[in-house]
A and B are shown apart, each in its own frame.
Chain A
Amino acid sequence: MKPFTYERAASPAAAAAAVARTPGAKFVAGGTNLLDLMKLQIETPRHLVDVNRLGLDTIEPTAEGGIRIGALVRNTALAADARVRRDYGVLSRALVSGASGQLRNKATTAGNLLQRTRCPYFYDTNQPCNKRQPGSGCAAIGGFNRNLAILGTSKDCIATHPSDMAVAMRALDATVETVMPNGQTRRIAIADFHRLPGSTPWVETALVAGEMITAVTLPAPVGGTHIYRKVRDRSSYAFATISVAAVLRPTNGTARFAFGGLAHKPWRVEAAETRVDGGAKAIAAAALAGAQTTDQNGFKIPLVERTLASVLAEGAAA
């Protein structure tokens, strides 16, 4: 690791201000992704602001009947929370589909949203990568890309966002709450939180410099059957090739689908959710409209369709 200085923040606003004013500063929470990248010198912060002990580790009910999940709630604690298991099962299932038991005990809600891509060219410091080194090019396009994105890509980047949790949160219409370096707060819909690469793939979220996530809120439970189906190269402890977060037959009689492993954000097309009567083929066709595949990852389109068919069958049997 490159040398860095370290401080323990006194409050969320103080942490945001410290990161905004200190050159090369970053927040550290669980650290499971950041330290991995620091050891590889892909991340080289000069200062770390530890936000672990700011009281942001509780799950509270909201006035609207939903829940507010503190930014520092660990993935295991969120997956095991009785309200989440009962009312937001798709989120609990998505969380336990990711990483390992040890990592989930450490990884946080905010850190899960902010984790970096696992594109092999982002990790290989001998290769060009526009995320790691802006302007250097993309070795994934034309490289080994069978697990990379088919939607929302650009000529500069075809990385996916690796989170499972975020896919479930997209299906649940979550909102990200933040504090800015000047102490002001704001709310960002999960749909607008992760950015597609465009010509600036290194800009990955809607956050500004120093802005810190304080919580993620979920609206009141919508009922229905909750399913998270993850397809991957081995059956545990692997990132998604594709995944489907589904909430079937919620109280208003509709369905919701969000997809992982397809883009640099959880992929949800609300118009596709009106096509349930047409079955998996119709839903997939609407959800994946405009997909651009390489000679290696075109299989993701039929894989999504077949996984959706399996999810619908499971929902019908529930």
Chain B
Amino acid sequence: MNDEPAFTLSRRGALVGGAAAAAAGAVPIDAGAAPTGPAQPAPPTVPVRFTVNGKARALDLDPRVTLLDALREHLNLTGSKKGCDHGQCGACTVMVEGKRINSCLTLAVMHDGDAITTIEGLGRPGDLHPMQAAFVKHDGFQCGYCTPGQIMSSIAVLQEIKDGVPSYVTADVAGSATLTGEELRERMSGNICRCAAYSNIIAAIADVAGAKDVA
């Protein structure tokens, strides 16, 4: 069933080990939220079947597993990132049934039968999705951590404009939105970039949309 590469990468192992060593002796960040006491037994697992990047998947999950953790930890699809894990940063953005959502704020078991697309489903090295290629061309990133979420959102934003979804800066909600920098920035506000590559991200989206003079 699971034919994604196993976690044998030394870089990731080194990072995980490094983080664990750094955390040793430090106060757990969520000490206030996690009461002490005997561990509670895990609840019964729930079967869930969905399609990820066109491939049928079947998992048996603790209901607490978010869609993001199912993708990353159970299907080894680590392109979707865990930034804040609270829906504030957008790094976990994936498409479910064609709509962008924060995969950290939904349970995997709520998606039985759904079709999910992650950054891994868009393109491959040498065969990039046009939005991926535009991000490279316009330098739409620095560290790259937010980039998978930014790209998923960028693609969704152009579709939402086509579908007539208004935004807070759309002058006439009964009409259609025009492709301006203001529209793109408003619609991309759910994706935070710590490196502040925002202007180049807007340039990449505008390029794909064929919009000229977007500032």
Contact A76 B99 (CB under 8 A): yes
Contact B107 A100 (CB under 8 A): no
Q: Does B140 contact A (CB under 8 A)?
A: no
Chain B interface helix/strand/loop/mixed: loop
Contact-size category for A: 35 or more
Contact A93 B86 (CB under 8 A): no
Please, which residues of chain A bring their CB within 8 A of the CB of B174?
85-86, 89
Contact A40 B87 (CB under 8 A): no
Q: Does B78 contact A (CB under 8 A)?
A: no
Select the stretch in B6-14, B36-44, B195-203, B205-213 that faces chain A.
B36-44
Q: Does A237 contact B (CB under 8 A)?
A: yes
Q: Does A101 contact B (CB under 8 A)?
A: yes
- In chain A, residues 1-58, which have Cβ atoms closer than 8 Å to a Cβ of chain B? 1-6, 8, 28, 30-32, 35-36, 39-41, 48, 50, 52
Contact A41 B34 (CB under 8 A): yes
Please, which residues of chain A bring their CB within 8 A of the CB of B167?
96
Contact B40 A106 (CB under 8 A): no
Q: Does B71 contact A (CB under 8 A)?
A: no
Contact B100 A4 (CB under 8 A): no
Contact B189 A106 (CB under 8 A): no
Please, which residues of chain B bring their CB within 8 A of the CB of A85?
164, 166, 173-174
Contact B187 A101 (CB under 8 A): yes
Contact-size category for B: 35 or more
Contact of A237 among B42, B173, B189 (CB under 8 A): B189
Q: Does B51 contact A (CB under 8 A)?
A: no
Contact A102 B40 (CB under 8 A): no
Residue of B nearest to A88 (CB): B173
Contact B46 A6 (CB under 8 A): yes
Contact B106 A80 (CB under 8 A): no
Please, which residues of chain B bring their CB within 8 A of the CB of A36?
86-87, 105
Q: Does A79 contact B (CB under 8 A)?
A: yes
- The total of interchain contacts (Cβ-Cβ below 8 angstroms) comes to 124
Contact of A125 among B33, B85, B102, B104 (CB under 8 A): B33
Contact B99 A105 (CB under 8 A): yes
Contact B110 A28 (CB under 8 A): yes
Q: Does A236 contact B (CB under 8 A)?
A: yes
Contact A106 B102 (CB under 8 A): yes
Contact A100 B190 (CB under 8 A): yes
Q: Does B132 contact A (CB under 8 A)?
A: no
Please, which residues of chain A bring their CB within 8 A of the CB of B43?
3-6
Bound-state CA distance A284–B40 (Å) is 53
- In chain A, residues 68-115, which have Cβ atoms closer than 8 Å to a Cβ of chain B? 74, 76, 79-80, 82, 85-86, 89, 92-93, 96-97, 99-103, 105-106
Please, which residues of chain B bring their CB within 8 A of the CB of A48?
63, 107
Bound-state CA distance A48–B109 (Å) is 11
Q: Does A252 contact B (CB under 8 A)?
A: no
Given contacts A5-B63, A93-B173, contact A103 B190 (CB under 8 A): yes
The 5 A-B pairs of least Cβ separation, nearest first, read A100-B190, A236-B189, A6-B63, A237-B189, A80-B165
